[in-house]
């Protein structure tokens, strides 16, 4: 048994070093509600109306042709910066010199105002003409969307 102990310790150490680190989910957050929502880029409507309900809120994803992929959360996550805010029926953020805004007919994250954390991937491209949106529990959707929509 003594001769197996060092081997067991090495195996456990190797497993802990090589194990991928999972992205945090935002399981303790409030519910997200977008009803009749519209997305604006520098004041021009580019999507909507659309509706999304997610409880608890994880992440919103928007691919905007010519402006890349935007991932929005209510808490810090890898690669994100606090460049926006949830304010009642509005979510606004800035990325790449542009202002993006969502307006909903209902409060988006309830009555409290919150910071919005955004990861912007300006070089991300899909083979589509219009805006693509989605939501989920994981901050990365890029490769899934490439598999579905392809690259230009």
Residue 136: per-residue pLDDT? 92
pTM: 0.80
Q: Which portions of the chain are predicted below pLDDT 70?
A: 1-28
Residue 27: per-residue pLDDT? 55
Residue 110: per-residue pLDDT? 86
51 CB-near residues (< 8 Å, 6+ apart): 34, 35, 36, 37
Residue 14 exposed, middle or buried by CB count within 10 Å (0-12, 13-18, 19+)? exposed
Residue 28: per-residue pLDDT? 63
Q: What is the pLDDT of residues 110-135, one digit of tens each?
A: 888 999 999 999 999 999 999 999 99
Residue 5: per-residue pLDDT? 36
Q: Coil, helix or strand for 38?
A: strand
Residue 143: per-residue pLDDT? 84
Q: Where are the domains of the chain?
A: 32-149
Residue 55: per-residue pLDDT? 93
Residue 73 to residue 91: CA distance in whole angstroms: 11
């Amino acid at each position: 048994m003594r001769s197996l102990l060092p081997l067991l310790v090495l195996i456990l150490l190797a497993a802990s070093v090589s194990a991928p680190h999972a992205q945090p989910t935002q399981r303790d957050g409030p519910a997200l509600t977008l009803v009749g929502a519209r997305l604006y880029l520098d004041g021009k409507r580019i999507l909507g109306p659309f509706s999304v309900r997610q409880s608890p809120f994880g992440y919103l994803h928007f691919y905007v042709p010519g402006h890349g992929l935007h991932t929005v959360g209510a808490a810090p996550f890898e690669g994100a910066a606090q460049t926006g805010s949830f304010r009642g029926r509005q979510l606004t953020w800035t990325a790449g010199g542009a202002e993006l805004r969502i307006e909903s007919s209902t409060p988006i994250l309830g009555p409290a105002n919150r910071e919005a954390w955004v990861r912007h991937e300006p070089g991300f491209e899909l083979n589509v003409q219009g805006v693509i949106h989605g939501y989920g529990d994981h901050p990365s959707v890029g490769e899934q969307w490439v598999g579905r929509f392809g690259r230009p």
